Amino acid sequence: MLPLFPLRTVLFPGGLLPLKVFETRYVDMVKTCLADEAPFGVCLITQGHEVAQPDAGPPRFASVGTLARIVDWDMPQLGILHIVTMGESRFEVRDQRVEGSNLIVAEVAPIAAEPTLPLPTGHEPLARLLELIAARLGPENFPTERRYDDASWVGYRLAELLPLPLTVKQSMLEINDPGVRLAVLHQFLQQQGVL
């Protein structure tokens, strides 16, 4: 069973996600993941809250999420962990349950990685825009591995960094065709007057 961390964000394969962890259930989960060198799952919350609320049930979340591998961590004060995670492969939740600690665990099925495709002709402006965004963010806030010629990588990075509604980001995660994702992003950026 995969421990899940439902959040109001979408993690994409290859993306960086820094998190501040303070709830006991998630601090314990992070400790276990670090000890076992295992990932946890990140899913977008569709209804409910990130932080447990009294008399509220568990949040509802999207059925497609991304494995998060902890790549760095720090404990600036007792009971608070700062972690940086890297998105790995996508998965689909098949079954879930809430443990006694209120941690949600799920049985998941992996979603095959998209084939590596070169960035299609006509979408080079997307790669150039992404390079500008990366330069503004700084190297510490952007994945070390850079693949501006890879259609999936460029699409995932733009989908996570652009100010898109969370429902749109989730649909970008669920698309299994990098060409379609790039076309949608290209159209959006043209409508906004960015390209």
Cα–Cα dist 14/19, whole Å: 16
For residue 175, name the pLDDT band (cuts at 50, 70, 90). very high
What is the tens place of the pLDDT at every residue in 8-27?
A: 999 999 999 999 999 999 99
The structural domains of the chain, ordered by start, are 2-110 (2.30.130.40), 124-191 (1.10.4060)
What is the tens place of the pLDDT at every residue in 126-162?
A: 999 999 999 998 888 888 889 999 999 999 999 999 9
Mean pLDDT for 56-70 is 93
The reported pTM is 0.92
Write down the pLDDT at residue 48: 82
